Amino acid sequence: MKSLVSRCPIEEVMQILSGRWPTLLIYYLKQGTKRFSDLRRDNPTISHKMLTLELRKLEDAGIVERTEFDGYPLRVEYQLTPAGHRLVPLIDALGEWWETTSSAAAQCSSVDAEPVIPNTVSRD
């Protein structure tokens, strides 16, 4: 989905939140400041390419803030912006809606639980 088809804010948000990673990253970032490698540990199945791309997208959208500490090994920290924090309950609401809608599985209730550990562990 690269271009928009309507000029509706809803389509614009979905352009940012669509896909597997944006909401998961927001999920982990609401726990506080995280470094690149922390986020990779949080979801071992994301490739570094995807992670940088998604973080960049969230940054451009004003949802996360990137802080670069120079010095070497070079350290970068990511955290939710105020706008990002305001977004969290809306996403949680979707999760809750889904839980009540589908009689199926119910884990990771909203703010506390962890998204039941991602599967394969690939390091590179």
**Residues near DNA, by CB under 7 A:** 1-2, 19-20, 35-37, 45-50, 52-53, 55-56, 66, 68, 72-77, 122, 124
Hey, what are 95's tokens? 């999760």
Please select the residue that binds its own copies; options are 48, 98, 111, 122, rule is CB under 8 A: 98
Please select the residue that binds its own copies; options are 29, 39, 55, 87, rule is CB under 8 A: 87
Specify the residue, 71 or 82, whose C-beta has the smaller distance to its own copies.
82
Hey, what are 20's tokens? 């597997």
Specify the residue, 74 or 104, whose C-beta has the smaller distance to its own copies.
104
Which parts of the chain are beta strand (E)?
Answer: 34-35, 64-69, 75-80
- Residue 108 CA to its chain's centroid (Å): 15
Go through 89-99 and write b for each residue having 16 or more CB atoms within 10 A of its CB, e for each that does not: eebbeeeeeeb
Question: What is the residue whose two structure tokens read 């960049």?
Answer: 56
By CB under 8 A, which span of 10-18, 32-40, 48-56, 66-74 interacts with its own copies? Answer: 10-18
Asked if 93 is part of the footprint of its own copies (rule: CB under 8 A), the reply reads yes
